[in-house]
Amino acid sequence: MNNSDYFIEKSNPTFSARRIISVMRRVLRQIVRDRRTFAMIIIMPLVIMFIFGIALSGEVEHSPILIDNQDMGFSFHGNTTTAAADIINTLKADNRVDISTGNYQKGIKGVEDSDYVASILFPANFSESIINATMNPDQKIVIIIYLDATKPQIKGSVLQALQEGIRDTFGDQGISFDQTFAYGGVEYTGLETSTPAVMGFVLTFLALLLSLLILIRERTEGTQYRLYSTPMKATERLVGYILALTIFALIMAFSLLTISIFIFQVPVKGSLLLLIGAAILFALVNVTMAVLLSNFAENELQAVQMAPLTALPSMALSGLLVPISTLPAFIQPLSAVIPLTYAVIVFEGIMLKGYGIAQLQFEFSVLIGIALLFTIIAILTVKDKQE
């Protein structure tokens, strides 16, 4: 072998697209070859989606309630109204609740003993007050409810059943429980409402964790140190990784969107293209965050610990689990610095509210800014050599 036969870049002053692409191709290959990681990319979004789907799509059914009907009825111009009885009849057809009748006080004890979810008393003048209410707006209609409120979903479904029972019975007689749904009169199921947030979550958690693990492997397997001795610049390696990992974060986002749209029939009111753009952007945010964190993680264990450390506060404070407005006031400013906050707004806006780029300009700018910031800090902190 004669050395002079070979062309080698002798000096190395510039940024080399070829080295970046070689890293990108290599990382893509590594991920595809590593079955566990690849399976995680494809299957995890599916699994998470299904879990959320099942957990959130089911309505609460057959909550036992006791009703004490003391309503005497009311005769007016020869028409006798038995309002409570009519409502109870409507409720009997509603499978969200199982109705027993009995004494209100006994019902309270039943709620305390977990035999009933609610004890409901229709007072003697119930029909009368309903009729009066049609003529006198100040007339109060009272139903007395003793309710187990420890489980919000159950509480919600019972109250909703009752409300709808009243509306369905008297809806056309002037008692208005009319609800108007915003954003084009669409009412979403739990799953539909949560899909944008789940997308944000999956991208945050999986993209971050997977990226970290893949990045750290370079260090634990010793190849990173080997690369220190070559013309490969740390920034080239970094950009190569960002490109490769973003492609995979995208695959995740796509599989998630596909499942949501085609299996769970979650509607996308806004532009699908914009949604894909938002997914790319948010994937980039998480990948760059992983690249940044990987500069500080020495081994897989540290990386695995870092991921939840960043992902969990994100989940709690981003409006993903609870609306930001319900958080204590002193914590709310923290939400403003969490990327997921903006991603949730963007995903929800596009998918559920049909927002376009005009309404989401601010959030998009923030996400772009964060991705840039992470990339810059990552480039500034990445090592070319070992100290």
Residues making contact with another protein (CB under 8 A): 1-13, 16, 18-19, 22, 26, 29-30, 33-34, 221-223, 225-233, 385-387
Query: By C-beta, is 30 or 100 nearer to another protein?
Result: 30
User: In the structure encoding, which two tokens stand for residue 293, read together?
Assistant: 């964190």
Query: By C-beta, is 20 or 158 nearer to another protein?
Result: 20
- For the CB of residue 238, give the shortest distance to another protein in the complex, in Å: 14
Query: Token pair 């036992």 is at which residue?
Result: 64
- For the CB of residue 304, give the shortest distance to another protein in the complex, in Å: 19
Nearest residue to 306 (alpha-carbon basis) of 200, 170, 373, 215: 215
What are the phi and psi torsion angles at 86 (to 5°)? Answer: -65, -40
Query: By C-beta, is 172 or 387 nearer to another protein?
Result: 387
Query: By C-beta, is 5 or 138 nearer to another protein?
Result: 5
- For the CB of residue 213, give the shortest distance to another protein in the complex, in Å: 13
Instruction: Dump the DSSP string for 114-175.
Output: TS-SEEEEE-TTHHHHHHHHHH-TT-----EEEE--SSHHHHHHHHHHHHHHHHHHHGGGT-
Amino acid (one-letter) located at 18: R
- For the CB of residue 255, give the shortest distance to another protein in the complex, in Å: 22
- Vertex 261, ends 316 and 249: CA angle to 5°? 55
Query: By C-beta, is 13 or 328 nearer to another protein?
Result: 13
- For the CB of residue 339, give the shortest distance to another protein in the complex, in Å: 30
b/e sequence 10-24, b meaning 16+ C-beta within 10 Å: eeeeeeeeebbeebb
- For the CB of residue 263, give the shortest distance to another protein in the complex, in Å: 31
Query: By C-beta, is 8 or 135 nearer to another protein?
Result: 8
24 alpha carbon, distance to own chain's centre = 30
Query: Token pair 């707006």 is at which residue?
Result: 137
